[in-house]
A and B are shown apart, each in its own frame.
Chain A
Amino acid sequence: EPEVTQTPSHQVTQMGQEVILRCVPISNHLYFYWYRQILGQKVEFLVSFYNNEISEKSEIFDDQFSVERPDGSNFTLKIRSTKLEDSAMYFCASSAGQGIEQFFGPGTRLTVL
């Protein structure tokens, strides 16, 4: 069964450093998403991506964040100048269309020291 994959599973970085989280969505899906979940809190939407551009973004997704689909398979989230409060699980998701189920990856645990 096709699944969303994410790498790395765990990333530790120093405050102020840049990180890139990588995702491979399900191959025939058209919509891609990033969410984050701070420990013990709810899943929060960051950004959605369709047709090679951002379609929606939340207030969390400020200039510190960027997304890219550098080739036909990968979908990346870049966080510049990381802060302690960026520590969270980051989930990538994809869907075949809008208004239907989203398939989530296993997540990347980001720890900012």
Chain B
Amino acid sequence: SQKIEQNSEALNIQEGKTATLTCNYTNYSPAYLQWYRQDPGRGPVFLLLIRENEKEKRKERLKVTFDTTLKQSLFHITASQPADSATYLCALRGNTPLVFGKGTRLSVIA
């Protein structure tokens, strides 16, 4: 069956360090993958989209990689700040509508 796993439910890092979040999937052939940020009680906020033929995308302090051989996406936040503390969701789109992972709750400690 199709599965998306964000293999850390929670991640704590020190301010200024790089946070790396992982999204693995099985039994999908995604056309693209998206990363969203969700704060408690709020709707997801789009961050980055990467297509199956792209290896890497950057936006300011954010970087996403997409390895369709490993079936994995990595999401990096460099020079992390306490304001980056949130839950980060990956979402895949293939021949099914957008499917979300459960998310990784990131806490950046000052």
Q: Mark A1-16, 1 if CB is under 8 A from B, else 0.
A: 0001000000000000
Q: Evaluate contact between A42 and B102: CB separation under 8 angstroms.
A: yes
Complex Cα spacing A93 to B41, Å: 16
Q: Which of A4, A42, A99 contacts B100 (CB 8 A)?
A: A42
Residues of A89-113 at the interface with B, using a CB-CB cut-off of 8 Å, are 89, 91, 93, 99-107
A65 interface hit (Cβ, 8 Å): no
Complex Cα spacing A107 to B91, Å: 18
Decide yes or no: A41 and B102 within 8 Å by CB, A48-B97, A99-B31 being known contacts.
yes
Q: Evaluate contact between A99 and B32: CB separation under 8 angstroms.
A: yes
Q: Evaluate contact between B49 and A101: CB separation under 8 angstroms.
A: yes
- Quote the shortest CB–CB distance from A109 to chain B (angstroms): 8
Interface size for chain B: under 10, 10 to 19, 20 to 34, or 35 or more residues?
20 to 34
* Residues of chain B at the chain A interface (Cβ within 8 Å): 31-32, 34, 36, 38, 41-46, 49, 89, 91, 93, 97-103
6 interchain residue pairs of minimum CB distance = A104-B43, A101-B46, A43-B100, A45-B97, A42-B102, A104-B44
* Residues of chain A at the chain B interface (Cβ within 8 Å): 4, 33, 41-45, 48, 56, 58, 89, 91, 93, 99-107
28 pairs, A vs B, C-beta closer than 8 Å = A33-B98, A41-B102, A42-B100, A42-B101, A42-B102, A43-B44, A43-B89, A43-B91, A44-B100, A45-B98, A45-B100, A56-B97, A58-B97, A91-B43, A91-B44, A93-B43, A99-B31, A100-B49, A101-B34, A102-B34, A102-B46, A103-B46, A104-B44, A104-B45, A105-B43, A106-B42, A107-B41, A107-B43
